């Protein structure tokens, strides 16, 4: 072949070479589980929120329409996270953490026109469009995973290894507790602790830090009287005043009246307003009433499958950093779901944690989809495609 012919062939070859992500079986399964949870969630949300919306002089579809905007934004976030090499988050860990700390601080100091007080708490910026405490869950996972890998063998030491983690996480906990939102503060600590344990921290260090942290936690619980009331309600349901146990009682009534197979879609009685925040913090009670024990069991199974797939992705991750990130993301989504279900059936003290993919709330929905997208990327492998397959998506299906 002549030199001129070779020169003509090179641009053609270049146009037939590209890189793309090929999803593994676990990543595809995770997408399927997420899609099922989203679809089920929209149906449950309409049933749980329609009457409340009408009582507030809105159309019955009011909450669904707003939730669909979250699904749209979350789907875009999912696609971006699934396409973006998750290894890049290691370099962005500190900026994410600083954004989290600053935004949480702004929630407390900015005027209420920017950081409004909603239901007694200051958790949002710019109306209800951005909830920094939700973004902080991603910050905790990425930052903790980065620092664990960076410290390496130093992680076995208390002062130089573990203590810096709890100083930074402690700052987040204090800021969130001042909103107040003690449930998220506990969630930050729990997720960070699990990631640290997966990274090789000694059990003895957790014991020492627990002894130090329990008095601080108890002090915050005494300051926030509603937390103590919820704990007392759980430990001794007969002792608190009726107002403190009303929400839990109504949730138990809803779940109990659902029986084995439920009253049927849209036939629940607690949606008439008996359960406060029945479309959000207690949407699981609506599922128990209308779908019964069978519905709650299937929901629990769906999140168990999500956990299984996420941990399998973590086991085969491309690097130690991504392995820890996958564990943290999986734990964040699944633990939140199990805590929510445990609360509505009376197995755990009342918290303000929503049910991922199902409860009304766009910040949590977008974050959950984004974290799932990151898991999909971690569960994918990058490949170079040559020739016809590089331009023909049907030749070799991939993400």
Domain of residue 90 covers 22-381
As a whole number of angstroms, the distance between CA 318 and CA 351 comes to 36
From 276, 285, 286, select the one nearest 244 (Cα to Cα): 276
DSSP β-bridge partners for residue 354: none
pLDDT band at 3 (very low <50, low <70, confident <90, very high): low
Residue 210 banded pLDDT, cuts 50, 70, 90: low
Distances (CA, A) of 268 to 62, 259, 276, 330: 19, 12, 14, 32
pLDDT at 26: 94
Q: Compute the distance between CA of residue 203 and CA of residue 197 in angstroms, rounded to an integer.
A: 8
C-alpha radius of gyration, the chain, whole number: 23
Asked if the structure places residue 393 within a domain, the reply is: no
Is residue 386 assigned to a domain?
no
Q: What is the pLDDT of residue 315?
A: 93
Residue whose entry in the numeric block shows the structure tokens 């976030």:
77
Tell which wins on pLDDT, 274 or 25: 25
User: Phi then psi for 21, rounded to 5 degrees?
Assistant: -95, 130
Distance CA 77, CA 368 (A): 10
pLDDT at residue 397, rounded to an integer? 46
Contact 27, 381 (CB under 8 A): no
Structure tokens at 362: 């766009």
- Contact present, 224 and 180 (Cβ < 8 Å): yes
Residue-wise pLDDT tens digits, 293-350 = 999 999 999 999 999 999 999 999 999 999 999 999 999 999 999 999 988 887 777 7
Res 4 pLDDT > 60:
no
Let me know if residue 17 belongs to a domain.
no
Collect all residues with Cβ–Cβ distance below 8 Å to 167 and sequence separation of at least 6: none
Q: How confident is the model at residue 392 (pLDDT cuts 50, 70, 90)?
A: very low
Q: 143 lies in a domain?
A: yes
Task: Report how far apart, in Å, the C-alpha atoms of 326 and of each of 44, 52, 86, 157, 321 are.
Answer: 28, 37, 10, 25, 9
For residue 281, the number of C-alpha atoms closer than 13 Å in the C-beta half-sphere is: 16
Q: State yes or no: pLDDT of 232 exceeds 80.
A: no
Residue 13: CB atoms within 10 A of its CB come to: 11
DSSP label at residue 160? I
Spatial CA neighbour of 376 closest among 75, 47, 79: 79
Look at the chain and report how many structural domains it folds into.
1
Buried-exposed string 94-126: b where 16+ CB fall within 10 A, e elsewhere: eebbeebbebbeebeeeeeeebbeeeebbbbbe
Residue 391: pLDDT band by 50, 70, 90 thresholds? very low
pLDDT at 390 over 50: no
SS3 274: coil
From 335, 333, 328, 322, select the one nearest 379 (Cα to Cα). Answer: 322
10: in domain: no
Q: Is 23 helix (H, G, I), strand (E, B) or coil?
A: strand
CB atoms within 10 A of CB 145: 28
Range 16-21 average pLDDT? 70
CB atoms closer than 10 angstroms to residue 190 = 15
Our CA angle for 277, 280, 284, nearest 5°, is 100
Tell me the pLDDT tens digit for each residue of 238-272: 555 455 567 777 888 888 888 888 888 888 777 77
Residue 32 has a CB neighbour count (10 Å cut-off) of: 11
Which residue matches tokens 């997408």? 31
Residue 183 exposed, middle or buried by CB count within 10 Å (0-12, 13-18, 19+)? buried
Sorting pLDDT into bands at 50, 70 and 90, what band is 12?
very low
Residue that has been written with the tokens 């700390």 in this structure:
101
Q: Which residue has the higher pLDDT, 270 or 85?
A: 85
Residue 318 in any domain: the answer is yes
Burial letters for 77-90: b for 16+ Cβ neighbours within 10 Å, e otherwise? bbeebbeeebeebb
Asked, for residue 241, whether it belongs to a domain, the answer is yes
Comparison of pLDDT for 3 and 187, the residue scoring more: 187
In a domain, 396, yes or no: no
């Amino acid at each position: 072949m002549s030199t001129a012919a070779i020169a003509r062939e090179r641009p053609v070859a270049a146009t037939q070479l590209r890189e793309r992500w090929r999803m593994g079986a676990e990543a595809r399964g995770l997408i399927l589980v997420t899609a099922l949870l989203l679809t089920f969630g929209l149906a449950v949300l309409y049933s749980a929120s329609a009457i409340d919306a009408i009582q507030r002089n809105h159309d019955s579809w009011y909450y669904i329409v707003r939730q669909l905007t979250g699904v749209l934004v979350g789907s875009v976030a999912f696609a971006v996270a699934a396409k973006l090499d998750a290894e890049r988050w290691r370099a962005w860990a500190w900026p994410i953490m600083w954004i989290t700390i600053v935004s949480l601080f702004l929630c407390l100091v900015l005027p209420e026109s920017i950081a409004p007080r909603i239901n007694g708490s200051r958790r949002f910026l710019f109306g209800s469009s951005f909830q920094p405490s939700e973004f902080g869950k991603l910050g905790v996972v990425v930052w903790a995973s980065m620092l664990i890998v960076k410290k390496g063998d130093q992680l076995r030491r208390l002062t130089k290894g573990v203590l810096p983690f709890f100083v930074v996480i402690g700052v987040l906990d204090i800021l969130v507790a001042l909103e107040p939102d003690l449930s998220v503060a506990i969630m930050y600590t729990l997720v960070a602790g699990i990631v640290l344990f997966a990274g090789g921290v000694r059990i003895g260090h957790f014991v020492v830090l627990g002894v130090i942290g329990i008095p601080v936690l108890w002090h915050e619980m005494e300051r926030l009287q509603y937390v103590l009331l919820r704990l007392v309600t759980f430990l001794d349901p007969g002792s608190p005043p009726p107002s403190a146990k009303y929400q839990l009682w109504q949730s138990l009534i809803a779940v109990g009246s659902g029986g084995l197979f439920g009253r049927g879609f849209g036939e629940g009685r607690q949606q008439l307003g008996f359960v406060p925040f029945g479309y959000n913090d207690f949407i699981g009670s609506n599922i128990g009433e209308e779908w019964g024990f069978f519905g709650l069991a299937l929901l629990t199974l769906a999140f168990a499958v999500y956990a299984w797939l996420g941990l399998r992705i973590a086991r085969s991750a491309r690097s130690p950093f991504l392995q820890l990130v996958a564990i943290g993301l999986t734990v964040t989504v699944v633990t939140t779901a199990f805590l929510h279900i445990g609360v509505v059936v009376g197995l755990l003290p009342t918290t303000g944690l929503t049910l991922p993919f199902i409860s009304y709330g766009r910040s949590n929905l977008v974050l959950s989809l984004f974290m799932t997208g990151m898991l999909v990327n971690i569960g994918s492998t990058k490949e170079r495609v040559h020739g016809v397959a590089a331009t023909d998506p049907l030749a070799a299906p991939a993400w």
